[in-house]
Structure 1
Amino acid sequence: MENIFNSDNLEDIKTLIENKLSDIPGELILCGAVGALLLSSYLNKTGHTQAGSVIGKLSIPIIGIGLAKYQDVLKSAAESISESEFVADTQ
């Protein structure tokens, strides 16, 4: 069986993921990640430890993606606020 994650197509996979996630807001991704963590915790409590472990391990990269997108949103909002304050100070 061929390994699909090799150095030749890694850049294609990265751009595909970025294109798919570009339309989803960071807040929604973070909410989904928190939901996945809660589901993982519930599954672990009810005795489905293997399923809970898999979902918990998948939620960690989702949190990272959501935080990166949310950080970009916060940075652009802070820049727009500082620009509007600069315009108000010059008038």
Structure 2
Amino acid sequence: MENLNFIDPLLHGITPQNKPINLSVKQMVCAGVGALIVSAVLKKTGHTKASAVVGSIALPILASACYKKYAQVTKEKSDAKSSSGIEYNH
């Protein structure tokens, strides 16, 4: 019989190592603005369908960047307000 290890690597204990992509807010904003610029250039050159596809990607990227920044700010505020539970009376 043939060696069929390539069929299902999970059966042989090989697990995929997927690491989550951790983009900064600045990188996400640059990607969103870049998508808008590319969309505008494509529209100027007459590629309207490609322009619509690329342009539709820009808004979700920019919204994700805004949400990530908002989450960072609110986390910093909540960390600043929280205490260790020990209050000192002076």
- Give the 3 Å change call, closer, same or farther, for CA 82–42 of structure 1 in structure 2: farther
RMSD: 2.7
Which runs of 5 or more structure 2 residues have no equivalent in the other structure?
A: 1-17, 83-90
Output the TM-score relative to the length of structure 2: 0.57
Work out the number of aligned pairs and report it: 67
Match of 2:23 in 1: 24
Larger radius of gyration: 2
Deviation at 1:20, TM superposition (A): 6.5
Structure that is richer in helix per residue: 1
User: For residues 32-80 of structure 1, what are the alpha-carbon distances to aligned partners after superposition, in whole Å with 9 as ceiling and x for unaligned?
Assistant: 0010011101110111111011000111111111110122233345567
Which runs of 5 or more structure 1 residues have no equivalent in the other structure?
A: 1-18, 84-91
Output the TM-score relative to the length of structure 1: 0.56
Percent of aligned pairs with the same amino acid = 31
